[in-house]
Amino acid sequence: RAKADLTRTVCYYEPQMDEKSRERRGLAMDLRSAIEHKELELKYQVQKSVESGEVRGYEVLLRWKHPERGYIPPSEFIPIAEESGSILAIGEWVMREAAREALAWPLPHKIAVNVSPVQLMHVDLARSIHEILLETGLPPRRLEIEITESTIIADKVRSLDALRRIRALGVTVAIDDFGTGYSSLDTLRSFPFDKIKLDSSFMKEIETSQQARAIIRAVLALGKSLDIKVLAEGVETGMQLEILRSEGCHEVQGFLLGAPETFVADVVAVEERRIA
């Protein structure tokens, strides 16, 4: 099967191979069995409405607990998984597992799943999502996918077609890390996104830089006129939240609102609140 071939890693000996690439190769090998060995875990980070404080959804964040090296951050292993092809099986696992877990929650919150450009390029993502929705019974409106601009730039025709078909299922689409790519405006013109996720780098400067604040204001105005919700990522302080509120930002996500966690703690909290 084509899918199996894509996840197969070629391993060969190269005497001059440096430490770094040897390590990457080792991790690529280990990743192939990470699902089977139950080393992958999902964390969920809350997304809240600025106005009401209500939960709007949870972003699904993948964690890899390596048997010898402990937790390896996604910034390190996702690129390796993309390069080796493992991301196809991993991406499917994340979506199916998150759908299953979300269905067990006491409240029907939405889940936002990150999708790799490699998934969009190498599998029929719309079909794969459709199958997972049918198989798990997750209502399409409870699923959002997050994609970065680089995803679209790689092959505009193919990715826009895939995104249209995904949206036609009733699944929403968010553009992630907005403001860090090359052609943000062009991307927005080409596709009806449901949400803009303003990159966390803007939060670092929002308290001190007028420029950062002016850009945020412009993105919010853009969102308003295109009828796209704007979520600010990486909100860590009360002051950042107050500025975002005064500028009219719709949703927020970040350590101030809640760190990524296994949902169990939140479920317990929800149950306790219900009882109280």
Q: How far is the CB of 248 from ligand C2E (least distance, A)?
A: 21
**Whose Cβ is closer to ligand C2E: residue 116's or residue 159's?**
116
Question: Pick from ligand C2E, Mg ion, none: which does 116 bind, CB < 5 to 8 A by kind?
Answer: ligand C2E
Q: Site for ligand C2E (CB under 6 A): which residue of 78, 171, 188, 252?
A: 78
- ∠ at Cα 11 (7, 14), nearest 5°? 145
CA–CA distance, 231 with 50 (Å, rounded to integer): 9
| Contact set for ligand C2E, span 33-52 (CB under 6 A) | 45
- Give one DSSP letter per residue of 128-156, joined into a string: HHHHHHHHH---GGGEEEEEEHHHHHHTH
Residue 135: both structure tokens together: 């198989």
Cα of first residue to Cα of last residue in the chain, in angstroms, is: 54
CA–CA distance, 49 with 252 (Å, rounded to integer): 7
Q: Which residues bind Mg ion (CB under 5 A)?
A: 114, 146, 176-177, 233
**In the block, residue with structure tokens 């209500």:** 54
Q: Report if residue 61 touches ligand C2E, rule: CB under 6 A.
A: yes
| Contact set for ligand C2E, span 176-195 (CB under 6 A) | 176-177
Question: Pick from ligand C2E, Mg ion, none: which does 62 bind, CB < 5 to 8 A by kind?
Answer: ligand C2E
Question: Pick from Mg ion, ligand C2E, none: which does 71 bind, CB < 5 to 8 A by kind?
Answer: none
Helix (H) and strand (E) counts in the chain: 13, 9
Residue type, 71: Y
For ligand C2E, what does the binding mask look like between residues 196 and 235, x meaning CB under 6 A? ----x--------------------------------xxx
Q: Site for ligand C2E (CB under 6 A): which residue of 9, 71, 73, 211?
A: 73
Number of residues that bind ligand C2E (CB under 6 A): 23
- ∠ at Cα 61 (58, 63), nearest 5°? 145
Question: Pick from Mg ion, ligand C2E, none: which does 159 bind, CB < 5 to 8 A by kind?
Answer: none
Residue 23: half-sphere exposure toward Cβ, Cα within 13 Å: 8
Q: Report if residue 85 touches ligand C2E, rule: CB under 6 A.
A: no
Q: How far is CA 233 from CA 103, 186, 203, 227, 251, in A?
A: 25, 22, 8, 19, 9
| Contact set for ligand C2E, span 117-176 (CB under 6 A) | 146, 176
Mark residue 85 as left, alpha or beta (left: phi above 0; alpha: psi -120 to 50; beta: remaining).
left
Q: How far is the CB of 216 from Mg ion (least distance, A)?
A: 15
Q: How far is the CB of 276 from ligand C2E (least distance, A)?
A: 28
| Three-state DSSP class for residue 60 | strand
Residue 9: both structure tokens together: 């890693």
Catalog residues that contact ligand C2E under the rule CB under 6 A. 45, 61-62, 73-75, 78, 91, 94, 114-116, 146, 176-177, 200, 233-236, 254-255, 260
